Amino acid sequence: MMVALPGTSAVLVLSLAAFLPPPQRAQDPAMVHYIYQRFQVLEQGLEKCTQATRAYIQDFREFSKNISIMLGRCQMDTSDYKSAVNNLAMRVERAQREIDYLEYLRESDICIESEEKTLAEKLLQEAEEDQKVRTLLNASCNNMLMGIKSLKIVKKTMDTDGSWMKDAGSESAKVYLLIGSRNNTVWEFANLRAFMEDSTKPAPRKLILPLSWKGSGQVVYKGFLFFHNQATSNEIIKYNLQKRTVEDRMLLPGGAGRALVYQHSLSTYIDLAVDEHGLWAIHSGPGIQGHLVLTKIEPGTLGVEHSWDTPCRSQDAEASFLLCGVLYVVYSSGGQGPHRITCTYDPLGTIREEDLPNLIFPRRPRTHSMIHYNPRDKQLYAWNEGNQIIYKLQTKRKLPL
């Protein structure tokens, strides 16, 4: 018979009895006592574990309750914070609109001031430019062309292209002959009679240039020959006729020399000219649809003094010249006559189209390869199909604007 020990459950006793062998169940009380003690320790441990678990559960419940309270507060704080942030964002947005409006007003004032300043600067620049041009063209010359009175064939050669001239800047009576559109030989005659008669006394002086010219736009001015260097597109050579040396050279800007100046002059890319105001260059510039460009050159330094885009077209043009600072462009139909001046350009604006008469050259069968004005004798020197021609001019005073 199994006796239950004090404090021992019947289940544990029955379980213990199940593990003991039958012969020893009543015969070994020491073993039973030992097992009882061990179970007592286990029960104490289980009781402690139960108490610890209950304490943990209680702590967890307290913690969960605290967390719930804190989360609630966080939600309230988050709501308040979100409301504050939204309110601040609205205030910032309103302030930004006010700042944008003030900036708009400020920029409007600045734009108005800038436009007024730009306009004032533009007007000042135009006034300075106008004064510069008037200072540049200040020679006492106020004539305008009214007609080509007569012509005189001075000499005839077998060459289609060429140029001939006197020194347009001195009292010298010498005459210069340049034959062909590409050459390096200049013939210097003592005077017009020697040139006309082609006599051997005095014999003409032969000048061999170190460089060849291109076209027929050469001029002689104050003892120097100015010509377009054949080996380049835009180089102008200043040649000392007395010393027979190249005095200076320049590159003409503005796209000069890239296209023909005149449609009916198939060799001239830069046409030089002289009038009462000095040395000029006429050429076709890039990006202006075949219109002529007029450039004033300082002959001493070969510096560009000023340049103008003119309304005169190179199409159907064959030559041009300057008289008292005004460009006169000669046109013909298909290179044939009549030869008319149908476009003029005055940098000072002192000539109006309605003031100009019908300017027609005496009929010539072919086109001119050059027409140059000499301000010393007020005549035109021209080359037409091998004929060296002088045109006498009729002028009058410019009308005041």
User: Is 5 within the bounds of a domain?
Assistant: no
Contacts 24+ apart (CB under 8 A), 341-346: 341/145, 343/310, 343/311, 343/312, 343/313, 344/312, 345/292, 345/294, 345/308, 345/310, 345/311, 345/312
Range of the domain at 80: 31-134
**Residues in Cβ contact with 339 at an 8 Å cutoff, skipping those fewer than 6 apart:** 318, 330, 331, 332, 360, 361, 363, 364, 367, 368
pLDDT band at 3 (very low <50, low <70, confident <90, very high): very low
Judgement on whether residues 383 and 303 belong to the same structural domain of the protein: yes
User: Is 63 within the bounds of a domain?
Assistant: yes
User: Is 11 within the bounds of a domain?
Assistant: no
What is the per-residue pLDDT for 273? 98
Judgement on whether residues 128 and 149 belong to the same structural domain of the protein: no
pLDDT tens digits, one per residue of 27-66: 578 888 888 888 888 888 888 888 888 888 888 888 878 8
What is the per-residue pLDDT for 297? 97
User: Is 273 within the bounds of a domain?
Assistant: yes
Least confident of 176-190, 282-296, 365-379: 282-296
Q: Which residue has the higher pLDDT, 127 or 311?
A: 311
User: Is 275 within the bounds of a domain?
Assistant: yes
Mean pLDDT of the chain: 84
What is the per-residue pLDDT for 108? 66
Look at residues 84, 108, 134 and tell me which one is the last residue of a structural domain.
134
pLDDT band at 15 (very low <50, low <70, confident <90, very high): very low
Judgement on whether residues 229 and 257 belong to the same structural domain of the protein: yes
pLDDT tens digits, one per residue of 236-266: 999 999 999 999 999 999 889 999 999 988 8
Judgement on whether residues 173 and 280 belong to the same structural domain of the protein: yes
- Give the whole-angstrom CA distance, residue 52 versus residue 172: 134
Backbone angles phi, psi at 363, to 5 degrees: -60, 130
User: Is 200 within the bounds of a domain?
Assistant: yes
User: Is 87 within the bounds of a domain?
Assistant: yes
Q: What is the mean pLDDT of residues 309-332?
A: 94
User: Is 263 within the bounds of a domain?
Assistant: yes
- Sign of the alpha-carbon torsion through 229, 235, 240, 244: negative
4 pLDDT above the threshold of 50 = no
Q: What is the mean pLDDT of residues 295-309?
A: 95
pLDDT band at 336 (very low <50, low <70, confident <90, very high): low
Judgement on whether residues 175 and 279 belong to the same structural domain of the protein: yes
Look at residues 108, 134, 160 and tell me which one is the last residue of a structural domain.
134
Backbone angles phi, psi at 83, to 5 degrees: -65, -40
The number of folded domains in the chain is: 2
Look at residues 115, 134, 153 and tell me which one is the last residue of a structural domain.
134
